[in-house]
Amino acid sequence: MRTARRASNVEVPSFLRQLVKETEKMVTFFFKGGSREAGPGEEDNLDEDDSMPSPYLEHPILEKHVSEGGSQPGLNYAVASMQGWRAQMEDAHTCMPQLRGELTEWGYFAVFDGHAGTTVAQYCSRNLLDHILATGGVKASEDPEQVKDGIREGFLDIDRHMHKLARQDNWDRSGSTAAAVMISPRYIYFINCGDSRTLLCHNGEVVFYTEDHKPFNPREKERIQNAGGSVTLQRVNGSLAVSRALGDFDFKEVDWRPQTEQLVSPEPEVYELERTPEDEFLILACDGVWDAIGNEELCAFVRSRLQVCDDLREICTQVIDLCLYKGSLDNISIIIVCFPGAPRVSQEALQQEAELEQQIDVKVEEIIQMMRTRDEDPDLLYVIKFLAAEEMPGLPPGGGITSKRDCIISAYQKHVMAPRSQEPMDIEGSEEDSN
C-alpha cells in the first residue's frame, strides 16, 4: 500500500545537528534560569558555575528502538522509545498481544517509566503480568470485578516481592510508574499507577484517559500527610514527583501502615470499558510524551497519520520526534494499539498530504530566494521560524508545522545544497574557458 513520504528516510545529519545545537542553547538557559540569549563568546562559559551533576546530557541521544506485532483478534501494535536528553534510559515496556493458555484472546501492554535507576522498571516489565495472573482473578470466564481485584493484588504482590529483593540484593533506590491495559474480547481494562498515561480514541474522540497520580491531588496529598509526609514544591517530601509508584522503597518504610497508606502507594487505579466497533486505537505513553502534548492533540495527530501511513512504527517515531521538537527533555516511550475500527490510509488524505508538502516546498524556496536577495546566507533555523509564523492550512491536527520539520529540512536541502554541489563543476568549466 502506498503511503506518504516517510520522514525517517531523509538523511540530513548536519542539519539535524544544527537544530539540536539551537535546542541545546534553550535547554541550557532553561536550567540556568537565563532570560536572554547568549552574546558572542558567552556560550562556552555557561557551565563554569555549575558544580551540580545534571540528569541531562549535553547532546540528546536520538536513536530510536522500534518494534511491531499483532494478534488473531485483529489487534496491531507498534512501540518506539528514545533516550533523548536524559543521562540514562530508564523506560521499559511490555507488549503481549496474545496471552497463553485459556487467555489466547487477551492482550497486555504496559509502559514503565523508571526514575532514580532502571532496576524496578526492568523487573516490572518482565514480571508484573505473572504476578497479576498468579492471583487467579484473570480468567477467560471474565468477571470484571474479579479481574480488577486480581490486577490490584498483582501490583501489591510484586511490590512486596521487590521490597524483599531490594533489601537482600542491595538494589538501587529506583521506582517506576506503570500504565497498562489488558484487552479481552469484551473489555479494555485501564491500569494506572503514577503519571504515565493511557487513552482510548473512539470514533475520532478521546473517550477515556487515565488520571495522573500527582502529590498535589487532594486525595493523594491527604494520604501523604496522614503518613507523616508533606507535599513541598509539588513533590512528596520535596523529592518525588509522583504519589503512586512501584518501588521507591525509601517512601514505604512505615511498617505498621498498610501498603496503600504509605507516602507512596503501589496501588493502581483500574477501570473497565466495554469494547465497541467504534474503538479506533489506544495510546500508552510515559510523561515524556504528555509533558509535550495533550490528550486531544495526540489523538488527532495519530488519527491523521493513520490516514496517510500504514506503518505504525513510523507513526510512533513521528510522535517521538514531535515531542522532542516541542521541547520534551525526558525519555520518551509510546505504544499504539490499533483495533479493527482504526482509520486506514485513504487516497484523499494522501493527496492532501502531498499538496501540503508541495506547498511547504514552495514556501521554503520563496524564503531562501528572499534571503538571497538581501545578500543573506539562507539559514535553516530562520526558515523554520518563518514558517512557524505563517498561516498554513492543512497542517496535521495536533502537530502543526512542528510535525513537518523533516519535510522542511528536505526542501531546504534541495533548494540550498543543490546549487552548491554544482559549484566545483562551474569552477572547472571557467578554468577550461580561461585556457
Band (pLDDT 50/70/90 cuts) for residue 23 is low
Domain boundary among 343, 364, 394: 343
What is the predicted pLDDT for the residue at 2?
37
Question: What is the spatial distance between Cα 1 and Cα 409, in angstroms, rounded to a whole number?
Answer: 26
Domain boundary among 309, 343, 377: 343
- Asked whether the beta carbons of 229 and 236 are under 8 A apart, the reply is yes
> Quick check: is 136 in a domain?
yes
For position 87, which CATH number holds? 3.60.40.10
Cα 90 → chain centroid: 13
Q: Per-residue pLDDT averaged across 166-178, rounded?
A: 94
What is the predicted pLDDT for the residue at 425?
45
Type of residue at 297: E
Q: Specify the residue for cell string 509522583.
A: 242
Type of residue at 243: S
What is the predicted pLDDT for the residue at 96?
96
The answer to whether residues 289 and 313 belong to one domain is yes
Does residue 339 carry a pLDDT above 50?
yes
pLDDT digits (tens, 9 = 90+) for 373-407: 988 888 888 899 899 998 899 999 999 999 999 99
> Quick check: is 417 in a domain?
yes
The answer to whether residues 319 and 359 belong to one domain is no
What is the predicted pLDDT for the residue at 12?
40
pLDDT digits (tens, 9 = 90+) for 191-200: 999 999 999 9
pLDDT digits (tens, 9 = 90+) for 27-60: 443 333 333 334 434 444 444 445 567 889 999 9
pLDDT digits (tens, 9 = 90+) for 284-305: 999 999 999 999 999 999 999 9
> Quick check: is 241 in a domain?
yes
What is the predicted pLDDT for the residue at 243?
98
Does residue 171 carry a pLDDT above 80?
yes
The answer to whether residues 350 and 329 belong to one domain is no
What backbone torsions phi and psi does residue 308 show, to the nearest 5 degrees? Answer: -125, 0
> Quick check: is 333 in a domain?
yes
Category of 208 on φ-ψ map: left (φ > 0), alpha (ψ -120 to 50) or beta: beta
Q: How far is CA 191 from CA 36, 112, 132, in A?
A: 43, 12, 12
Nearest to 15 by CA among 422, 408, 365, 361: 408
What is the predicted pLDDT for the residue at 431?
46
- Asked whether the beta carbons of 233 and 254 are under 8 A apart, the reply is no
Which positions ≥6 away from 433 have C-beta within 8 Å?
A: none
Question: What is the spatial distance between Cα 311 and Cα 283, in angstroms, rounded to a whole number?
Answer: 15
> Quick check: is 135 in a domain?
yes
> Quick check: is 264 in a domain?
yes
> SS3 string of 137-192?
CCCCCCCHHHHHHHHHHHHHHHHHHHHHHHHHHCCCCCEEEEEEEEECCCEEEEEE
Q: How far is CA 56 from CA 113, 116, 330, in A?
A: 16, 13, 9
Q: Per-residue pLDDT averaged across 343-348, rounded?
A: 97
The answer to whether residues 338 and 360 belong to one domain is no
Give SS3 for 36: coil
Number of domains making up the chain: 2
Weakest mean pLDDT among 28-32, 89-93, 216-220, 421-425: 28-32
Q: Per-residue pLDDT averaged across 246-265, rounded?
A: 95
Q: Specify the residue for cell string 488519527.
A: 303
- Asked whether the beta carbons of 60 and 324 are under 8 A apart, the reply is yes
Which positions ≥6 away from 280 have C-beta within 8 Å?
A: 201, 202, 203, 204, 303, 338, 339, 341, 342, 343
Type of residue at 41: G
The answer to whether residues 393 and 268 belong to one domain is no
Does residue 423 carry a pLDDT above 90?
no
Q: What is the mean pLDDT of the chain?
A: 87
The answer to whether residues 207 and 218 belong to one domain is yes
pLDDT digits (tens, 9 = 90+) for 306-337: 999 999 999 999 999 999 999 999 999 999 99
Q: Which helix (H) or strand (E) holds 123?
A: helix 119-134
What is the predicted pLDDT for the residue at 54?
83
The answer to whether residues 140 and 250 belong to one domain is yes
Cα 357 → chain centroid: 25
Q: What percent of the chain lies above the pLDDT cut of 70?
A: 84
For position 387, which CATH number holds? 1.10.10.430
The answer to whether residues 236 and 94 belong to one domain is yes
Q: How far is CA 377 from CA 45, 348, 356, in A?
A: 28, 38, 26
Q: Per-residue pLDDT averaged across 224-250, rounded?
A: 96
Q: Per-residue pLDDT averaged across 181-205, rounded?
A: 97
What is the predicted pLDDT for the residue at 76?
96
Question: What is the spatial distance between Cα 70 and Cα 338, in angstroms, rounded to a whole number?
Answer: 9
The answer to whether residues 283 and 167 belong to one domain is yes
Nearest to 38 by CA among 54, 26, 21: 26
> Quick check: is 401 in a domain?
yes
The answer to whether residues 282 and 134 belong to one domain is yes
Give SS3 for 117: coil
- Asked whether the beta carbons of 237 and 229 are under 8 A apart, the reply is yes
Band (pLDDT 50/70/90 cuts) for residue 254 is confident
The answer to whether residues 338 and 384 belong to one domain is no
Q: Which helix (H) or strand (E) holds 57?
A: strand 56-70
Q: Per-residue pLDDT averaged across 23-29, rounded?
A: 45
Band (pLDDT 50/70/90 cuts) for residue 21 is low
Domain boundary among 313, 343, 373: 343
**Could you tell me the three cell numbers for 340?**
479493527
Q: What domain range includes position 77?
A: 64-343
Give SS3 for 361: helix
Type of residue at 240: L
The answer to whether residues 68 and 24 belong to one domain is no
> Quick check: is 38 in a domain?
no
Does residue 67 carry a pLDDT above 80?
yes
pTM of the model: 0.85
